[in-house]
Every structure is written in C-alpha cells, then in structure tokens.
Amino acid sequence: MQNPLWNLAVVFLPLSIVTIGGGQSAVAEIHRQVVDLHHWLTPNQFVDAFAISRMTPGPGSLLVTLIGWQVAGFWGAVVATLAIFGPTAFLIYGVAHVWSRYRGARWQVALETGLRPVAAGMIVASTYVLMRSMDGGWQALLVCLTAAVGLTMTRINAVMVLLLGALGFIGLTMLA
C-alpha cells in the first residue's frame, strides 16, 4: 500500500507551480486528480469541499487542505497545504525581485498579456468541471449561470446573490 501523505505531495506539488491566475485556475485539474484518478472524493464530496473552502476566509486553495484532511487526517491536511503553497511561495519570492527590477519592460508586458487568456481559460475550465459535478440538476445549473451573469454584469452584493440563488433554487425545485 502506498503512503497517502506521499501521494498527496506528488499530486499537489506540481499543481502549485501551474496555478496561473491563482488557486481557482487549478480546480479542474485538482478535480481530475482527486475524483477521477485517485478516487479520494466523490464528485459530490468535491463540490461540498469546494463550497466550504470558498466560504472560509483565505485563499480558495484551502480546498486542498480539506482534501488532505479527507485523505489522511491532520497530517494529510498539513502535507497537502504545504505542497500547494510551498513551491509557489519560494518561486514568487524570486520572481518578485526580478519583476520589480524590470518593471515596465517589453518582455514583462508581453508575458502578462500572454498569461491573461491562459488564466481565464483555466478558470473557465474549473467552472465547467464544478458545474458538471453539481447534483442539483437543471435548476442548479440555471441558478449558477444566472448568478454568474448577475455578478459579472452588476455590482450586486455576493451575499445577496447567495440569498437569491438559494431562494431561486428552492422555488425551481418546488415547480419541477
């Protein structure tokens, strides 16, 4: 039997480096690794862990801490958290020095411009994976899409969107 702590580190260390645009951009790959490849969580458990991680203060990558806890308890949470945050923290320390030294250089502007669509694509892929994993049927999908449009197009408070989304989902479920 393989060591679950080692498996957590092997999964999350490389993901730490490729989280272009923040932890949210890696959710699709985290889902693939955790649900499809390693079967550590079911799709519903993954969505639940994602929702809990988004409600807590701090970075969205705390999802990984919850996964680590599920896989190997306290030490699993510690290993998964260090694996997802550690490499990036060291890399950013070095990059920040170079970035500030060459602020406004043509290569820097080109790199930032080129990485924006990559980050956006990774976030869209993550959203797609989460929507596919939802167990709420067409009602949840409709509420999710409506909330996304509302948050994108207006300045509505996110708490209000949660309240309206919950009420909308209950109403749609009762109609179905």
Tens of pLDDT along the chain (176 residues) come to: 589 999 999 999 999 888 766 677 788 899 999 999 999 999 999 999 998 988 877 777 789 999 999 999 999 999 999 999 999 888 888 888 888 888 888 998 998 899 889 888 877 888 788 878 877 788 888 888 898 888 889 998 888 988 998 999 899 888 87
What 8-state DSSP symbol labels residue 105? -
> Global pTM?
0.69
DSSP string, 106-150: HHHHHHHHHHHHHHHHHHHHHHHHHHHH-SSHHHHHHHHHHHHHH
Nearest to 125 by CA among 63, 32, 3: 32
